[in-house]
Amino acid sequence: MSNCLTVTNAVEYAFCPRFTYFQLVLGIEQREGKRGTVQSGRAFHSRHSSTNKNYKIKRFEGIKQTELLLYSKKYAFSGKIDEAIEADDQILIIERKYSDYIFIGSTIKTQLGLLAILLEENTGKKVNQAVVVFDKKERVEVPVKITEKMKQKALLLLQQTSRVIETNRMPYSKHDNRCTNCCYRKICP
């Protein structure tokens, strides 16, 4: 796999392949900083990973790890694990979403699959579970099983992200609800 992509790049491809084209081929910067939800989400992530170091998941004992920046030599990509609990033989990922939309879709699965690959390669421990914490008006914890299939699909999306950059071609994508909040909607044909 060429180029050092990030987990975020693949998650954005999972959101919309054309997003990747505008950002990584044409080099048009995201104007997401101006969107309130993204700013709030970032503040939320950083607040929790730095101040809530004692937060644990029931029935999973281990040492809390935060803000781990990891690189995969095998697949040439990097990513950051905001929170995880490390036990003797396995690791559980905690992922927070500033949202009341309780749904484990392709973007979250891609993120968890790639973060699991990073952790497994760098620690030698199995990563087969995560807890996604949705927290805006209400707080809901959703346990997610990280399967081999999820990891393979995430790697495929990482590879497809790389292919968009290599071919310089605008990928097909249909317009739908995602476009409403997309920063490229005004230039997307």
Q: Which residues bind ligand SF4 (CB under 6 A)?
A: 16, 18-19, 173, 175, 178-179, 182, 184-185, 188
How far apart are alpha carbons 163 and 186 in whole angstroms?
25
How far apart are alpha carbons 169 and 160 in whole angstroms?
12
CB of 156 to ligand SF4, least distance (A): 19
| Residue closer to ligand SF4, measured from CB, 21 or 134 | 21
| Residue closer to ligand SF4, measured from CB, 65 or 161 | 161
CB of 179 to ligand SF4, least distance (A): 3
Contact in structure between 84 and 118 (CB atoms under 8 Å): no
CB of 183 to ligand SF4, least distance (A): 8
| Residue closer to ligand SF4, measured from CB, 142 or 179 | 179
From residue 170, alpha-carbon distances to 24, 48, 121 in Å are 11, 37, 33
Contact in structure between 128 and 141 (CB atoms under 8 Å): no
Name the CA dihedral angle for 173, 116, 31, 24, rounded to a multiple of 10 degrees: -60
| Residue closer to ligand SF4, measured from CB, 54 or 180 | 180
CB of 68 to ligand SF4, least distance (A): 30
